[in-house]
Chain A
Amino acid sequence: MSNKPYLNFQAKVLIPVFTLSILFLGIILWLVSRHLTAQLEEDAKQLLTTSEAVFRDSYEIRTRNLLLRYQNVVNEPRFKAVAQLAEPKTMTMLLSELLIEMGPDTEVLLYTPAGNIFSSAAKREQNLNLQEFKSRSSVSIEDALRRQIGADTIAVEQRLFNVISVPVVVSENPAGILTIGVRVGSQAAQEFKLLTRSEIAVVVKNAVAVSTLKDPKFYPQLITKFQQLSGSQTAEIVTPDGERFLCMAGRFSHSSSNIGYLILSSYEKALHEQKVMQERLTLLSLIGILLCSLLIWVLIRRITRPLRELRNSVEAVGRGDFSQRIEIHSNDEYGELATVFNQMMENLNASQAEIQHTLQRLKSTQDQLVQTEKLSAIGKFVAGVAHELNNPLTGVIGFSEMLQDTGINEHQQNYLNRIIDSAERCHRIVQSLLSFSRRRRPERTSVNINQLIESTVEIFKYELPVNNIEVTSDFGSDLPALLIDPHQIQLVFLNILNNARQAIELRQTRGVIHIITELIEGHVRISFCDNGPGIPTENLLQIFDPFFTTKSVGEGTGLGLSLSYGIIREHDGTIIAKNNNGKGVTFIIDLPVVSIKAEHEAVKTMPAAMVKMEQASANKILVIDDEENILELIKEALAVYGYNVETVCDGESAMRAVNNQSYDLIICDWKIPGIGGQSIYERLREMNPRALEKFFFITGDILGENAEKFLRVEKKICLFKPFSIEQFRTTVQEVLHSNSDPSDLTTT
């Protein structure tokens, strides 16, 4: 993670877009405004120039119109008559009348007779200085005297006049000049303003004579501007009252007097319009930008919606919720992303399930391991106990048998038989304990499992119908032959059937046991399904534990199912028990199908060659055992047949004895405290290999794999305790008479 601040997509897109838009808007507005202002000024200048031209033109036309209007006044007979009369008062009277007739714009009528003897005048405004008017009109009058029509613009006391001077001719002789003064007043200025839409100010002697700008407070500014501009044709901006005008100055060309004019063209309105337009443009653009931004925001929100959903989903996955899926809204990159995510989730789910499955298997394996360990520990314990019991049992059985031959009465014989029976029973218990400890490898052979089951059921042929128990079967027809120890597997079946039978007969009057065999994925599954009372769930986990039983004391050892478990495990199979949905228990045994060749190590069984016991011809036999009882028994049993038996109880004594003399037969216990049977054998072999030609072991224990291997290599046999005297003697005979190759001999 970088330390940059978190910015979502909206911000990332909107900020630059917004900024750029505003920037561009600003630049464009600035450019447009600059251009428009320049255009505006140009237009105003153009307008001003046009206005000035129009002003000059209209002034010209006005003058011409005045000429046309007044040039015929002098041709009127009464005017001519009065002119001829050359009487000032009459002329004055006439002029007054004419003034009334001519209309309000005619301000002054001045008649100057030839010779300038007197002059008559009529004026509309009484306070007008006629003398000044006359002197100002002199230029025009002089023009008229030269028989031209004189026209001029004059100012009298800040009043502006158009003057027209017309020569009066009476009888072909010049009689005088009629000068007409027409006021150029605010009405004319207003007319001009209407015509050109420009303001005008006429400046006379540094004062404003006529102006369309009414407020006199602007006049000083106008005069200053006029003084600046007069003579030049440039236009400048003047702002009376804050309103912007472009103005231009000019002079009436008729005289050199200081009468001029200022034409002012206001572009304030245009400026205002421009400003308004600019504001509208800005507002519209801003609204547009805002709308666009809003649109972009909405769009991005829509676009990033699947992204946010993905984030939420991934978060949920992070919390361990693997069921999250993204809805696919669109058929685009997001759609692909969603598809891929969903695919990933599928895979994750699958692997999760697999892990769960594996974990479960691991757990069950661990359980089995624990079970195995338990069994193994108990096995060791049991083996130890059994070994310890075997030696005394050998004594009990041996001496009891020997006692039988001592001519006891029938009553005693009866007791003795009971002792022997009890000892035999002890022997069987020890035997079963020992076989439970599984020191023996299963002796495997190819077996048809269906036949094996049938033969097992055959054993209960009479027992089951008596208890109203029916056995039904559903055997798979194409099952391969299994490489198993039929005796051990049969024991398992017997255990199961027996348990079922006992459970059913204990609780109900009739029952059914259904047996199914089938081939499932390289395993043959054998299911025993009964409709008995079932096993309480809390017991279901313990039924394979050794010594676990629900039966009353004496009815079961609690080793049956534990033993069965051991056997099936030994066959690399599994056995489980589960309660049926309705009623009863199903035991399911899976046994692997193994190629027959691979494990074909069938141990050859050989019928024991029963050699007739013959008198020993004083053969010397050395017996090595730590048990005094055993040594005594063997000595007694063999001495009867004339064998010369020497006994030693440890390895050292054995070495010495073998060193001192040779023996026809050496019998050695497998377990000697301190050194052990195998070591004694090896040391004796080092000392005198020949002495070991006739040699066998006895043991109260079960042999481990290493021991069995050792025996096979050395071609020696081992007789298991407790043995009967008869058995022992036969073995001695066989070993003695074998041709130093007792490998075919074996014991059970």
Chain B
Amino acid sequence: MTVMTPRRVVVTGLGAVTSIGIGAEEFLRGLRAGRSGAKPITAFDATGFDHAIGCEVTDFEAERFVVNLPVREFGRASHFAAAAARMAVDDAHLPLADLRAARSLVTVGTTDGESRDLDHLVQMEVDQGPEHLDPVVARRVPAGRLSIAAARELGLSNVEAVTLPTACAAGNYAIGYGFDAVRTGEVDVALCGGADAVCLKTFAGFYRLGTIAPERCQPFDRDRKGILTGEGAGIMLLENLESAVARGARIHAEVLGYGLNCDADHPVAPNEDSFARCVRLAHRNAGIVADDVDLISAHGTGTKANDVTEARAIRQVFGQSPPRTVSIKSMIGHTMGAASALASIACTLAIREGFIPPTINHVSTDPECGIDCVPNRAIDAQLRVAQNNALAFGGNNAVLILGRYEENGVTNSQPAGEEAA
């Protein structure tokens, strides 16, 4: 094997579609203000549920945000992905001709893919029989199309377009994959993140498990009652530092590293020790130690089980006084495959702007969680390193480490050199 100096990987473009703001700057305003995206769900007929509040993106018409994508051929999650990818490229001020000439990766994480379309197809099947499914809608179903939509919107051909349906940690998986692809020099540009659309299937499932909150999402609160399902997309544009500097790009933050592992234990319940191991893997990969971390963006779903398990894992790694630990799910709900992508964008904005987004709807912190979740109001803070947590069904853990961009690196400890083919 030839020894290779890994490239530094920086974030130069952000695209966000969220229930508290479309576009990274509007999302930023929402995060600073502690806006809530919660409102009655319109994605499906909620008759028969005692409560159905969610965080939908209500002012999104795909045609306003995409140029090239044949909108009718793609579902709502693909529209979100394509729109966010377009925004990320615009934000990066990367000319499309340059992007098309580059070797690129487009990777979108998701939980449900186009399950909104599958909801509609099942309704047609129930009403009229399976021979009457709409073929245009049926054609939209394959999950791979979320990434393809983003790549086609941008007119990319020399591109690896791959969807990562690794459930609710998928956004971090995608950004980690983009990080490795840029770091090793295999691609020049990576567009990576996640997308999901609210669907009946997932709402009914979480509702049946008793994990849907009736009104609001209250992570780490003593009286937290569960998640609100949400939707949207977050896409980051990653490139290597040399290319960003050479073209005079605005560097929002640096991706320092990430960690992945699998509990291999329980299909849905999180595992404290295993998640703590994942955090340590991420620190090692990023060349940092726990003391370097200034902010944790928690998975923080607002369920009884997640929040206490996650907080315990954090204390296992960070000791009894962990860094401030917030959950933006209090504002935008659980956006499933988009969740850790949007949280990564929130961390990036927090580092860039010098603030910490709040955990809203907070009344009193659960002593079993024992963390400072920055209740209800954003605070100013100079951040050097942020850690973004994600846990998923299947015991799939993913932790991403982002840092403020500084010429000589934000931490004194340099990432370990590595070998690559």
Decide whether A and B are members of one complex: no
Taking beta carbons and an 8 Å cutoff, which residues of A are in contact with B? none
